[in-house]
Chains A and B, each alone.
Chain A
Amino acid sequence: MRGICLGLILFWFLSGSASALRIVVLYPAASPVLRALGVSDREVVGVTRYDRTYPGAVRVGSHLRPNLELVRALDPDLLIVGSRRAFPEALARKLSTRVFRYDPRTLQEILVCIRNLGEVLGRRQAAEDLVEILSTLLSRIKPLPRPVTVIYEVSATPLKVAGARSIVNDIIRVAGGRNLITVPRKHILLSPEKVLALDPEVYIYQVGPMNRHPTPPKKRPYFRSLRSRVLRVEELEFARPGLNAFTAALELNRFLLSLK
């Protein structure tokens, strides 16, 4: 399994699929993609509680614990869900609805996902256009003479950093950096000693729901001798595998270019 984004089609309901769809989005990062594909407010009938892209839709709980009664009451034709951990296969089977799994781990996979979504939604042209725009964004990324070493902090207490399975890993790679953490997991509980020993050129820390009020790294006692350049980013704009990832890569690329 290489994390390729598959439109998992479990049950087809022939009726109603041709006209306006009823869509429930259980993975917030997918909503901006739908918006960009031109999916209207009428079609998205349900979203998770902090999803601001479709303000008119019904809130159906959090992305880890959706309220299945609410979801079913909305009688959706299509469910857009995240990873298998957030929305297990068994759960998908229980709801007799088409399920689209949106779980890309790289920027390329995001593009694939967009194409597949376009297919499923009958918006192939819009999907191609969007992929075109995003690819243009990527093409504006300028190469660096050599990869800049980076460590990305997910949370400060406890110290957790992004591993090789995180979307951040690919954003860094595309932007011309190299994530020094190669452990094949999404988040890794790491010893601060290790950060100092790896001595990254750039230390990025995110601020957002997972890292609510972190002390800036250089003000923490264990990072007093940290020599890295420190970059603060917004978690919601950086670490989500959606459209934001491309702008994030471009901006990180600019930052890395400005280092010299």
Chain B
Amino acid sequence: MNWLELRDFEVRQGDFRLRIPELRLSAGQMVAVLGPNGSGKSTLLSALAGLRNYRGTLLLGGEDLRTIPEKERYRRLSYLPQGGHLGLPFEVFYVVLTGRYPLLSGRRYTEADHRATARLLKLFDLEALGGRLFGELSGGERQRVLLARALNREAPVLLLDEPFNAVDLRHQHLFVRLLRSYVRRKEGLCVTVLHDLGLAVKYFDRFLLLKEGSLRADLGRSELSETLLGEVMGVEVKFVEYGGERLLSIDLSREGGRA
């Protein structure tokens, strides 16, 4: 089953144009969106979340995104934008709880919502921070809270824009494993914008390479090549096998080095 399906998809923003002729993202996949700054990664993600005007076709779970009512749409997908902020004071527990807003049937969060939130806080090592104000936290802690909030919705499709910004190394690996098991368990889909190639190569199944608004490559794990990766990212990439694992060696490419 395809969770997301794009055909003749185009998003314009001022002079910038993002075009994707065809793309299908199916259940159970961890998809990394890679590319340099300004390549359209965030634009792609927010468009997939239904927050931008687009031309062409965008299907969510086989249905036209435009025809799915908002609440239903956001039960199916959960979007973590970059640089999320909060203008008013709230406790961490409540911030994570609000992730379940689309699941509300009445006007209050239920006991089950509270239990799920408590479980998630534990999973994200945030239990001790539950009663603190979101504004009091450090940048990395805030990012962890927002990630937990995104997962709390239990939506099958996760759209995460640089979810590990400012998160410490240990928690990055912890969370990315958590995401993997989440996607497996839900038969879901996780589309993540990343800058850490090492993390991407280690944990993700599929790679979308974006440059200047167009999809340069859509590769499986085994198809990933040093040259393609290097060309899109503007660096020299070398794969190094170590202990049965593929590691990356990265250097700045010299201008015109490939020619």
Chain A directly contacts chain B within the complex, with at least one CB pair under 8 Å: no
Residues of B at the A interface (CB closer than 8 Å) are none
